[in-house]
Amino acid sequence: MANLWKMSQHGTKKRKLDRSTEDYMYFDSYSDVTIHEEMIADTVRTNTYRMGIFKNSKSIEGKVVLDVGAGTGVLSLFCAQAGARKVYAVEASSIADQAVRIVKLNQMEDRIEVIKATLETIELPEQVDVIVSEWMGYALLHESMLNSVIFARDKWLKPGGLILPSRADLYIAPINDLVVEGRLNFWSTVKGQYGVDMSCMSDFARKCIMNKDITVNPVTVEDVLSHPCKFAELDLNTVTLEQLRDVRGVFGCQCFGSSSIHAFCVWFTVTFPAEEKALVLSTSPFKPETHWKQAVLYLDDAVDVMQDTKVEGEISLYPSEENSRHICIRVDYVIGEQKKLSKTFSIPDQYLEVK
């Protein structure tokens, strides 16, 4: 699940939110129709989950399923269609009321029970055989919903039970951004058009555009300057809450040709197990676009590179101190012969509600 947010350039110190306020803001953001429309309309996302569930029908048929963060209940319905005996659809936001209606409309109320509560507070009458959840946020870990999946796994999943999806991988690559390049160069063109020299605005524009926000944008294949580098892998059967407090890895790649690096691009895949061939949901710029797009991390200044220029570094993803559901990303990197640089990025905390 990924929500829409409004970018904020304010540099003021934010106060730390208490957990109940964080949770209220998070669940309230899923009470509007827009985010659910966006997720259901994301055919890559929804079809891959549907196929991933059906490919595991042998493990689901006649079994008990827990849907963590069920939303409108679409994954619960897929599980029921795959033969589940019972599905507990847990959803804390008010969209749970709509899930009840959808379940009834599809005549599945005898097998799907919608529970309007937070996962951590529920009590189920039995252990479950399968956990299904669409928990992924921007850059995979924004919103911290994976924490609830792990809680459910440790408390409710039978030994040897199935988790869908079962694995997540994180990738990074340097990119060129011609739109940003054009915006930065714009101020040098004003004099030729209007007779007023505004080239001094370039540095100010660079600070505003190439800031410390995690920018969620689609990246085109042509803008990617190297092969992708996987820097982290999460096995949902074994990953711990402690490990999620700092997901880090190293990366190294070589540039394809002469260009300028404006940013790093981060994306993820999740994998559904299958008897023959595992099914992968990818948010890569090399694959069809999803509503997650990619997370773009702008450098302070563009760096010119040539064929085979090495780009190396370390990246770390961890919860924000102000809001533990929000993610921060720190990148330490070296490009070519330049000195090592570091930059920390965060998700702005003002959400954009589209009514």
Closest to 90 in 3D by CA, of 20, 149, 22: 149
Tell me which residue has tokens 């039995």: 126
For this structure, is 37 an active site residue?
no
d(CA 69, CA 90) in angstroms, rounded, equals 6
The answer to whether 67 and 88 are in contact (CB under 8 A) is: yes
Q: How many residues does the chain have?
A: 355
The answer to whether 259 and 305 are in contact (CB under 8 A) is: yes
For this structure, is 143 an active site residue?
yes
Catalytic residue among 37, 38, 61, 134: 134
d(CA 57, CA 38) in angstroms, rounded, equals 27
Tell me which residue has tokens 């092969």: 227
d(CA 136, CA 224) in angstroms, rounded, equals 23
Catalytic residue among 143, 181, 222, 321: 143
The answer to whether 236 and 279 are in contact (CB under 8 A) is: no
d(CA 154, CA 176) in angstroms, rounded, equals 43
Cα first-last separation, the chain? 18
d(CA 271, CA 67) in angstroms, rounded, equals 17
The catalytic residue positions are 134, 143
